[in-house]
């Protein structure tokens, strides 16, 4: 029900065809009221043709289907995080990567709250939200009494297909996690260059240059074994994993 915002890096078919089945499922289950799709103009044009021409065949969907054209810069802001788009070099126009940044916050200090006699529950939540509270005995507790120093939030970067990494270093700088393709191994670096893709070594070198903390590789060619991809990447950047369908990652500051 809450999967109603979808970000698309670019318009190649292997990255958009799944939207057809997803929309069909949503319409059959009637699980959501609206679906928002974000991407560059070229990708949105192809997505529109797919959904309205093939899936809907000219009919109107029973839910609100909104397509949002995205340009580089901050394009989405919630109470606690922002999403920034940045350009990525790949075949086709308007290819994008996405950076999710949790807003800076002051961590709640439970030991301080216990010491001051603040019970678990709504009063602690009020303090986190910046409100002064009054305890049952009449004492007033201010947010400054139970909140730590301001700390930057978690930073997560997602890059789809990419032909080179020079322009990506700043966008990926100090990311707590980077998800990026590594279609080829270095033994086929020329083929990677020809088709505008990365090798596992190239992705790992980007992680080193950008000071990334965790590297998650995806979009692996079936010609390779997972362990060979890991060996090549870990020789450059140790904290690497290869993503599999339905994997769940918890991203934290190191």
Q: Which residues of 235-248 are buried (b: 16+ CB within 10 A; e: fewer)?
A: ebbeebbbeeeeee
Spatial contact of 159 and 206, defined as CB atoms under 8 Å apart: no
Q: Is 126 one of the annotated active-site residues of the chain? A: no
Provide CB contacts within 8 A for 121, sequence distance 6+. Answer: none
Which of the residues 14, 79, 80, 245 is marked catalytic? Answer: 14
> φ, ψ for residue 56 (rounded to 5)?
-90, -20
Q: 61: how many CB neighbours lie within 10 A of its CB?
A: 15
Rounded distance, CA 60 to CA 66, Å? Answer: 12
Q: Residue 112 corresponds to which tokens in the numbers above?
A: 């301080």
∠ Cα 45 51 55 (to 5°): 155
How are strands ordered across the β-sheet holding 215-218?
73-77, 81-87, 96-102, 155-159, 177-181, 215-218, 240-242
Q: Residue 185 corresponds to which tokens in the numbers above?
A: 């191994």
* Catalytic site positions: 14
């Amino acid at each position: 029900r809450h999967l109603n915002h979808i970000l698309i890096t670019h318009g190649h078919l292997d990255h958009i065809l799944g939207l057809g089945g997803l929309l069909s499922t949503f319409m059959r289950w009637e699980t959501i009221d609206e679906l928002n799709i974000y991407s560059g103009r070229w990708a949105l044009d192809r997505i529109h043709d797919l959904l309205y021409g093939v899936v809907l065949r000219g009919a109107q969907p029973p839910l609100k289907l909104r397509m949002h054209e995205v340009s580089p810069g901050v394009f989405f802001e919630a109470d606690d995080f922002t999403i920034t788009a940045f350009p990525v070099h790949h075949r086709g126009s308007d290819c994008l990567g996405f950076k999710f940044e949790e807003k800076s916050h002051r961590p709640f200090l439970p030991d301080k709250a216990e010491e001051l006699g603040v019970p678990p529950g709504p009063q602690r939540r009020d303090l986190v939200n910046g409100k002064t509270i009054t305890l049952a005995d009449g004492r007033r507790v201010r947010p400054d009494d139970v909140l730590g120093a301001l700390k930057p939030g978690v930073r997560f970067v997602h890059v789809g297909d990419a032909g080179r990494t020079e322009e990506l270093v700043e966008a990926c700088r100090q990311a707590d996690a980077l998800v990026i393709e590594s279609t080829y191994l270095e033994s086929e670096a020329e083929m990677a260059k020809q088709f505008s893709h990365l090798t596992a070594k190239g992705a790992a070198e980007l992680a080193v240059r950008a000071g990334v903390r965790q590297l998650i590789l995806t979009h692996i060619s079936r010609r390779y074994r997972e362990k060979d991809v890991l060996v090549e990447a870990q020789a450059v950047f140790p904290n690497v994993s290869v993503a599999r369908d339905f994997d769940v990652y918890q991203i934290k500051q190191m």
